[in-house]
Amino acid sequence: EDQVTQSPEALRLQEGESSSLNCSYTVSGLRGLFWYRQDPGKGPEFLFTLYSAGEEKEKERLKATLTKKESFLHITAPKPEDSATYLCAVSGGSNYKLTFGKGTLLTVNP
């Protein structure tokens, strides 16, 4: 059974204070690891897909990296508008089902 564990559950940063979110996973035959951002009361918004260990993707202040056991979402010099819940998910095997972690609630104070 695929499993995804995200840590920490919640993270509070000051504006400009860089940090990282962790996503540990176990999956049979990784097809992809996905990062989403979710604002309160809204659907998840796609950020990145990573396919293999060593891969990195960047978008504005966010950078996602992947190893064989975990992924990190690095946030550089965050702004208050980066406040959201960040979700990690994996798909494995022969279908396209996603298994999600419970998310990290990020709060960036001005």
Partner 1 sequence: DVKVTQSSRYLVKRTGEKVFLECVQDMDHENMFWYRQDPGLGLRLIYFSYDVKMKEKGDIPEGYSVSREKKERFSLILESASTNQTSMYLCASLRLAGAETQYFGPGTRLLVL
Say if residues 56 and 64 touch (Cβ distance below 8 Å): yes
Buried-exposed string 71-95: b where 16+ CB fall within 10 A, e elsewhere? bbbebeebeeebbbbbbbbbbbeee
Beta carbon of residue 103, minimum distance to partner 1 (angstroms, whole number): 6
Least distance to partner 1 from the beta carbon of 101, Å? Answer: 6
Nearer CB in complex with partner 1: 65/78:
65
Instruction: State the residues that interact with partner 1 by CB under 8 A.
Output: 31-32, 34, 36, 41-46, 49, 87, 89, 91, 95-98, 100-103
